[in-house]
Amino acid sequence: MISLLVTEGKDEMKELIGYCTSCEKEIYCLEGFFNGVQSSERKIYCFDCYASNQEENPQT
């Protein structure tokens, strides 16, 4: 029963959420912290692409 504790030996605290819609960079959830931004259209962006996208479309 207690042997379940041994399974996590590496840096498995991050969970792959998906890939950036723009640059296809891997987006992870790190210990509850989302490594990117998900738009209202359910598209995922890394911070860099999201920032540039916001500059192009400041109204949205």
To the nearest whole angstrom, how small is the minimum distance from the Cβ of residue 16 to Zn ion? 15
49 sits near Zn ion (criterion: CB under 5 A): yes
- In this structure, are residues 54 and 40 in contact, taking their beta carbons and an 8 Å threshold? no
Applying CB under 5 A, which of residues 16, 23, 30, 51 lies at the interface with Zn ion? 23
CA distances from 7 to 2, 11, 12, 31 (A): 11, 11, 10, 17
Residues contacting Zn ion: total by CB under 5 A: 6
Is residue 46 close enough to count as binding Zn ion by CB under 5 A?
yes
- Taking the CB of residue 38, how many other CB atoms lie within 10 A of it? 15
Residue 44 interacts with Zn ion (CB under 5 A): yes or no = no
